[in-house]
Structure 1
Amino acid sequence: MKSPLVVLGATGSIGRGVVQAAVDAGWPVIAVARDSAGLKRLQERHADAHLSVLAASVASDEDGVRLAAALRKLGRPLGGVVACISGTMERGRLLDHPAVFLQRKFGEDVLPHLAAARSLLPLLAEANRGGGYVLIGGPGSEHPWAGYGHRSIGAAALNMLARVLHDEARALPVRVQLLAIDSPVCTEDNIGHACPQWPSALAVGQRALALIAQPRGKAEAVVHFNPADGDVEFGPLESSEFQEPQSPDPFSPDQSHPETDSDPALLPSRCLQDARNLLKNLLSPHPISPNRNQEPSSP
């Protein structure tokens, strides 16, 4: 039997996909999360799988030490760790928030990864199974994510944290890598309005497992998710089904579209229209008004 895989943030939208991918591949799983109720639902969902749950946090160094002690008590050498750690999703300009907002988001999105790694990397090394430690990173690390600037800063910091951990862990029989997802992910929570080109949480889990299972040797610190690397599952529609909407365009400015946002047949058109609007705003010659609530004056 394979050594168990530890999934941090197992009850989150991506964490559930990682757990599903591991169960499908026959991995024993130790699901870790703060949400006890969510862990119970996860157990019920995978009642026939080799799944253990552990209610714990990695918000601080102390939490990480307690988690490592609890895992050690299980008496099972670990085969790998996938860290799906992320804070709450909030939208807004950084300029509209006090500095303490970014400090709080940094503490939610980045520092727990360090607290977890400091305690779990030595534990993983003790097993000496050649297991991997994979951090899951989100979009926006190289270009600002409009409305989610704090997430871009966090993603960039996580990128560098992974590189540092990768370098510092060379002396250990453990491989540390970041799986960077350069787009949003289609999950159970957003499937009603997800775009067809977004990878599914299950596909992310499958790619993370491939990194865990790869032979020990030279490996990149940061691996960008690439659907061409293997068979992956996309969101509501396969990418091959993407087609330019036929005329008349239901999303043109002079026509209404009473259809609901949950209609998957309209998602490709909606994504195209969002892209058109973004390009239109970027190419607009109008200056930015100093008053956000005031329309820009005509040239």
Structure 2
Amino acid sequence: MIYKTFLFIALVASCESGDQATETVAEQIFEINTIAGLDPSITESSGIIAIDGSLYTHSDMRGKAELLEIDLDGSIKNTQEFQNIEIRDWEDITADDNSLYIGDIGNNLGNKTDLKVFKISKDAINTSNPDVETITFSFADQTDFDNTELNQTSYDVEALVSRGNDLFVLTKDWLNLNSNIYRLNKQPGTYALEPLATLNIGGLVTGATSSPEGDIIICGYSPTLSPFVARIKFNEGVPILDRKVDLGSLIGNGSQIEGITYFDIIDGAATYYLTSEKFTRNFAGNEIVLPANLYELKWNE
């Protein structure tokens, strides 16, 4: 059941290389639907991926590596635990034609030097003990690992995406609201990553996917939980922030969008699915609860 539908003409941001000054560009049409609340047990959906027409999500819970197949009504169709993968902070998932990449990359203290991506065969998606290869990385430009305060780092990570022969990692910069983007080898090994670019996002990047054209589409939210999506293009191999769309007036401020995946071309538009986490806070003696939801976004450009 579709709870609410918004069809709107959005003025979007165009960001250029260099100082990446923002300017208003032509109007574009977007359509976004809040199509379901997620199953009550899925309170912390951190990533989402479409594989062969099915949707899968996961939480960032420590220990268990569980992949949940979900229906468009938000219910759980199947649960698969990878028993031979131990997770610290699973923040995103991506895939190419042959492999799944599980991003154990969360770093909200900014003190990890061994962020990991677990690589398994897509054919092993329904097996308990798949063959696992490990890609380990750190950031060559990071020099301070002594932070002890939560969410006070420029090197948190929640976004991982496959594009062509490479993986790309985008930081969640709590201090500057920018995002550094890095290229990561898909082969097992240990890597020190150099930044390709610093993107003036103006928010916290929480997920990424590839578009049909080979661009990177990211999602996230502002410090006041105003959600957004944005598009990153490549100019001679250099990533450039090309568009940013504020979704706050459409699905509501307070939506903690955490994951995004490309699904298919539907009715001529590139169609994506997004998930949000359940958000609970006490304010002035009152408990505020925002549900975990599943959204459909059509980007017709």
Q: TM-score, normalised by structure 1?
A: 0.30
Q: TM-score, normalised by structure 2?
A: 0.30
More helix by share: 1
Which of the two has higher C-alpha Rg? Answer: 1
